[in-house]
Amino acid sequence: MDGSKWDLLNERIFKEGSLLVSFSGGVDSSMLAKTAKDVLGQNALCIILDTVMMPRSELKYAQDLAKSLDLNCLVVRYSMLDDEQFQKNDATRCYICKKKSARLLKQIAADRGIGCIADGVNLSDYRDFRPGILACDEEGIWHPFVEAEITKDEIRARARSMGLPFWDKPSSACLSSRIPYGMRITRENLRMVEDAEELLKGQGFRQLRVRWHGQIARIELLGQDMERALKIRDHITKKFREFGFKYVTLDLEGFRTGSMNEALWTPKE
């Protein structure tokens, strides 16, 4: 790992004097928040944007982590389900959401006299279909890891070397990413997905997704976890039906980030 990248990151953050960090509790934003705290102290303000698309367990994790790292952190509630275009859930969904959230962060920063807003986007994020990055770019959100040419693997390695508890946290994404493009996003289908994923996490599965296809739940697990899931399939099926699903399936291709994007975009080799 190139230490000069982290030196550059620290120098750039220091030059800002104060910084608002978009914080979710994920590996990337947590590493950025920790770094900003170390460099700027209380002049680094972390904002958790609390929406219905954020699982309650993830919100609690982020709040607990912020407390354990002694971050200057606020939770701000906002809604996307009052936005008709977002609910329509076409390929611009992530763009629309990030546009609105970026503008909210800009207002918070302006109210507190903070001139720079940063997020945890890194070089690895450009391997997937991420229209939200464009929205953030248009709103002037800074990507410090991209500027320092830091990848996801380097972030995890750095966090591990520092003994930070989130270094191996499974990747996550907002609940709306579990709904196929073109299918309307509602409070109900988000709840179904959240309940289903929480059940699986409670059974010890860490890296997973439950994709909502109307009456069908499509479970994505790591390959090594599939056999164990089949051993408790009766329990999983029973509970998923209680959540509102009629059919429960296990995707043989397994877990992969952004599988809903496969109908839209082919990743680069």
Rounded (10°) CA dihedral 68, 70, 71, 74: 80
Q: What is the pLDDT of residue 259?
A: 62
Which has the closest alpha carbon to 84: 76, 102, 96?
Answer: 96
| Cβ pair 1, 9 in contact under 8 A | no
| Cβ pair 9, 38 in contact under 8 A | no
Q: What is the pLDDT of residue 202?
A: 97
Half-sphere exposure of 89 (CA within 13 A, CB side): 18
| Cβ pair 150, 138 in contact under 8 A | no
Print the SS3 string covering 124-180: HHHHCCCHHHHHHHHCCCECHHHHCCCCHHHHHHHHHHCCCCCCCCCCCCCHHHHCC
- The CB density around residue 140, as the number of other CB atoms within 10 Å, is 10
- Sort residue 40 into left (φ over 0), alpha (ψ -120 to 50) or beta: alpha
Per DSSP, 54 falls in state S
Q: What is the pLDDT of residue 157?
A: 97
Scanning the structure block, which residue is given the tokens 């109908």?
Answer: 263
CA 158 – CA 155 distance, rounded (Å):
5
* Amino acid symbol at 75: V
Strand, coil or helix: 19: strand
Q: What is the pLDDT of residue 128?
A: 75
CA 21 – CA 30 distance, rounded (Å):
9
Please, what's the b/e burial string for 96-107 (b: 16 or more CB within 10 A of its CB; e: otherwise)? bbbbbbbeebbe
DSSP characters over 186-251 = -HHHHHHHHHHHHHHHHTT--SEEEEEETTEEEEEE-GGGHHHHHHTHHHHHHHHHHHT-SEEEE-
Q: What is the mean pLDDT of each run of 10 residues along the chain (269 residues)?
A: 86 98 98 98 98 96 98 96 95 95 98 97 88 95 97 97 96 93 97 98 96 98 97 98 98 83 49
- Domains of the chain by start residue, with CATH: 3-161 (3.40.50.620), 175-263 (3.30.70)
